[in-house]
Every structure is written in C-alpha cells, then in structure tokens.
Chain A
C-alpha cells in the first residue's frame, strides 16, 4: 500500500479524535455520559493492566474458536450434502436460506432457555451464527466447479471419491475460503450478541457489566476493541487467505 494512503487514514483518525475532544470540552454532554478520548484510553490501559480485559478477550476467543470450528465443520457437511445431492437441495435448500436470514441475536433466548445461562449457550449461538452462511457458501462452491474440469478429469480416468477429492474439492477452494471468511464475520457478531446477554466471562459480558456500572469510558473502549479485532482478523487472516487462494487459482491478477 502507498504511504500516502496511510497518512490520509491516520489524519482522519486524528481529526475524529479532535472533534470528540472538542465536543467534550464544549460541556454539552455531562462528563459521565461523554468521556474524553484520554479517559477511554486510560480505561483500556487499566483494563489490560489489571487483567480483566485480557481474561474477557481470552474467554471470547475460546467461545469463538470452538463455535467457529463447529460451524465450519457442520456447514461444510451440510453444504457438501446440498451441493452434491439434488434431492437434498430441492428439499432443504430453501430452508437453509431462511435460517441464514435469521439474525443471530434471535437465537439467544432460545439458547438460554435450552441450555442455561452459561458458556455452552454462547457457543451454541456462535455455531448457529456461522453454520448456515458456511453451508450456503459450500453449496455454491460445489455448484461453481467448472464442468470442464470434471469432464477433463473423467477422461483421465478419475471418478467417484478420487474425482471429488482430487478435483471438486480443490476447484471449489476459492469459494470455500469466502465461506470461511463470512462464517468468521457472522460468528463474531453472534458471539457479541450471545455474550452480551450471558453471565460471562467474555468481551460482550464485560461490555454489559460496564453499562450496568455506568462506565461509559469502558463501554466505548470495548466497542473499539470489538471493531479493531473484527477488522484486523478479517484483513490479516481471512481476506489474505482468500486472496492468496484466488491468485493461485488464477481468479485474481
């Protein structure tokens, strides 16, 4: 990336912080409702120093990793079934789209009533948040394998499972990677929804805790952490992986 782009981006943040500080100094909002940037920064430093935020982050990552791994596994199985079997697709494909359109926060009451106010319920919501979008993308991935690859492979004696694993799986990898990226994004949102209404620990729980104790600086601080993690993980891990695969597959120059 060109350095000038970074200069613009950093300047933008500085301007934003300056406006924030300006509004604070105008005294329009009471200080308890509208802390200055410095106080938010201080709250974050303290949170990390005394370990509460570190613990919350670790708990959140644990929920996310377990939930996302399950979502990817389940989504892959459902997606392959729907992608390979016309019967299954005609029967259940429509419902999958319906399920995918349900916002994950809707699952939280169901999870709490079914499982209880515990971490398993949070993981359950994360799984539901990621599975359907993963399944839809895997189904698309399999449908979008170029038929000429399959024809060529068949003339070279490939069929059945070897044809599936040696041609269809690698051919669908670019879409599969998009599926994983989306599953991560959906799971991350679901995680926050689940934790916000949970009994902790977790970043979402810390957020509600901060609200309950009227610590606006911590509320803003945690929102910033959530945003930073969401975009950094997407940019550094999933987008990168997806682009790498696309480039190798010749889909991106």
Chain B
C-alpha cells in the first residue's frame, strides 16, 4: 500500500484525540475524511504532513516511515497562508530547491499557474487576489514541488458556494491530470461524495474510524443522481448519531457542573 496508517493514536497531554486508526490508501486515490468537529481530522492530516508527532503506531508513505515534514507531501490549509511579500509566481516557486535553474522555476510556476487558471496574475501580490484565487495559488504552490500526496484540510471551507463549485471542478481536473494521491478533509458530505473515490467517516469520543465507503459513481457526479442521494443519506445518518453523542455529552457536562 502507498500510504499506510497502522494503529495510529494521538494524545495531547492527558487528552486522547483518537486511537487505533488503520487506513491503507492506494496510489492515485482521492480519499476524503469526514467527521464531527473535534474528532481529530486536522490532527491526523498534520501527522501525515509530519507537522505533528505520532503518539502511537506508524505512518508510512511508499514504505518509508513518516517522521518529519517533507516535500513528498504537499499541504493546503483552510487559510491560503500565502507569503504576502512574494508575488504569486514567487509563492509558487517557494518550495523549489536551489538546484533548479531560474528558467526551470519559471517554467514550473507557469505550468501550475496555468493549471489553476491564474497565468494572468503571476506578478500580482496575494492581497490583490480574491480568497478563491488565493486558494488556487496555494494549490499550485503545493503541486509545484511535485509531491506524492496532496493533503487538503478543508481547503474550500472559507469560500462561497459558487467559488467552491468552480474549485471542485478545477480540483477534479488537476486530480485527473497529475494523478496525485489526495487526502481531503471536509465538513461537507456533499463535497466528499462529489469528489472522492472513497470516504472515511470518523467518530468521536473516543476518536476512531466508524465507516469506510468506496464511492463507485461515475464522474462528473450530479447532486440529484439517485446514487449520490442514497450515499448522502447513509453518511448523514452515521454522522447524526455522532453529533448527537457529542451534544448529549456536552449537555450532561453542563447539567452536572452548572445544574
């Protein structure tokens, strides 16, 4: 398997976020992770990125243990986190090593900026772009270092509905063109079903994987496709139980401590 999570657990001090996470992801798969807020989706993704330590278990990419961040894993966050002192082009070439010649860098930037349709803005500064455009630059920047895996943590969460749909289509095109393996965290069931080959649903308290569905529906997927609607219902029910559990726990806590 390409990306392997083996009995992975994460604890902060005495607070256990999740444990016993076992996932195997094949090359060129688009995998979404869904789950209630606080179940540890971002934490898990950061661990794959190498930004967070693994408390227990092992993460492997292409057979090699993940211990540090590395250019074999690109990450896109909810906030674009572009460097405001660099032009769009220089942001995209930021991850490229010094052993690339200037011309090579220009070429790579041009290539990925074309992929996200921002060629025209290569000399602009990030603050001159809209939120959606900034997020596209962030995607181009992550792709520029040619990672094996693209990690995306609610990359479209801060965007409006229309922009999000446009970026969904762009991401699908990029996925087909670049044949990357994508691990995508989202809150949105529709988004997960629309984009993914596979949806992993996480539960909380304690954090764990409660379901793992393949999505065998031909792309492009329409929202009113009966198969899509069926899948949505199935996942919705699973998540509702989880969210109810969280709310009940929080309510119990309040009544006990304030009651």
Which of B67-102 touch A at CB < 8 Å?
69-71, 73-75, 77, 79, 81, 83-85, 94-95, 97
Contact for B74 among A155, A166, A248, CB less than 8 A: A155
Residues of B within 8 A of A154 (CB): 50-51, 69
A136: CB under 8 A from chain B?
no
Q: Please provide the chain A residues from 127 to 154 with a CB less than 8 Å away from any CB of chain B in the complex.
A: 146, 148-149, 151-154
Min CB–CB distance B81 → chain A (angstroms): 4
- Interface presence of B201 (CB below 8 A): no
Counting contact residues on chain A (CB < 8 A from B), the size range is 10 to 19
| C-alpha gap A64/B151 in the complex (Å) | 52
CA–CA, A156 and B83, complex, Å: 13
Contact B95 A156 (CB under 8 A): yes
Q: Are A250 and B71 in contact (CB under 8 A)?
A: no
Contact A249 B71 (CB under 8 A): no
Contact B81 A171 (CB under 8 A): no
Contact check, A248 vs B84: say whether CB atoms are below 8 A apart.
yes
B121 within 8 A of A: no
Asked whether, in the complex, the Cβ of A248 is within 8 Å of the Cβ of B81, the reply is no
* Pair B77/A151 contact, Cβ less than 8 Å: yes
| Interface secondary structure of B, over-half rule | loop
Determine the distance from Cα of A28 to Cα of B183 in the docked complex, in whole angstroms. Answer: 84
Interface of A is mostly: helix
Is A167 in contact with chain B by the CB < 8 A criterion? yes
Give the size of the chain B interface in residues (CB under 8 angstroms): 27
Is there a chain A Cβ closer than 8 Å to B49's Cβ? yes
- Docked Cα-Cα span, A156 to B73, in Å, equals 8
Q: B46 contacts which chain A residues (CB < 8 A)?
A: 151
* Chain B residue, CB-CB nearest to A154: B69
A157 in contact (CB, < 8 A): yes
Q: Are B83 and A149 in contact (CB under 8 A)?
A: yes
Q: In the complex, A84→B46 CA distance in Å? A: 23
**Chain B residues near A167 (CB-CB < 8 A):** 83
| B85 interface neighbour in A151, A152, A156, A248, Cβ under 8 Å | A248
List, in ascending order, chain B residues with CB within 8 A of A153's CB.
94
Whether A157 contacts B71 in the complex (CB less than 8 A), given A148-B77, A248-B125, A250-B126, comes out as: yes
Q: How far is the CB of B257 from chain A (nearest CB, A)?
A: 32
Q: Does A173 contact B (CB under 8 A)?
A: yes
Q: Which residue of A lies closest to B98 (CB)?
A: A162
**Is the CB–CB distance between B81 and A148 below 8 Å?**
yes
Residue of A nearest to B72 (CB): A157
Q: Are A152 and B84 in contact (CB under 8 A)?
A: no
Chain B proximity of A84: nearest CB distance (Å): 19
Interface centre among B49, B95, B145 (most CB of A within 10 A): B95
Cβ contacts under 8 Å, B71 to chain A: 156-157
Q: Does A170 interact with chain B (Cβ within 8 Å)?
A: yes
Contact of B49 (CB < 8 Å), options: A155, A171, A173, A250: A155
- From residue A73, how far is it (CB to closest CB) to chain B in Å? 22
Contact call A157/B125, Cβ cutoff below 8 A: no
Q: Which of B81, B97, B125, B127 contacts A152 (CB 8 A)?
A: B81
Q: B81 and A249: CB pair below 8 A?
A: no
Interface string of A65-83 (1 = CB under 8 A from B): 0000000000000000000
Collect the chain A residues with CB atoms within 8 Å of residue B126's CB: 250
Q: Is the CB of B69 within 8 A of A152?
A: no
Q: How far, in angstroms, from A152 to B70 measured CA to CA in the complex?
A: 11
- CB contacts (< 8 Å) of A249 on chain B: these are 84-85, 127
Q: How near does chain B come to A78, taking the closest CB pair, in angstroms?
A: 24
Q: For residue B145, which residues in chain A have a CB less than 8 angstroms away from its CB?
A: 156-157
Those 10 A-B pairs whose CB atoms lie nearest each other, nearest first:
A250-B127, A156-B95, A152-B81, A155-B75, A148-B81, A157-B71, A249-B84, A170-B85, A154-B69, A250-B84
Q: List 19 A-B contacts (CB under 8 A).
A: A148-B79, A148-B81, A149-B81, A151-B75, A151-B77, A151-B81, A152-B138, A155-B74, A156-B94, A156-B95, A156-B141, A157-B71, A157-B95, A166-B94, A167-B83, A170-B85, A248-B85, A248-B125, A250-B125
Beyond contacts A152-B77, A153-B94, A166-B94: 11 other A-B pairs, Cβ-Cβ < 8 A, are A148-B81, A152-B75, A155-B49, A155-B74, A156-B71, A156-B141, A156-B145, A157-B69, A157-B70, A157-B145, A249-B127
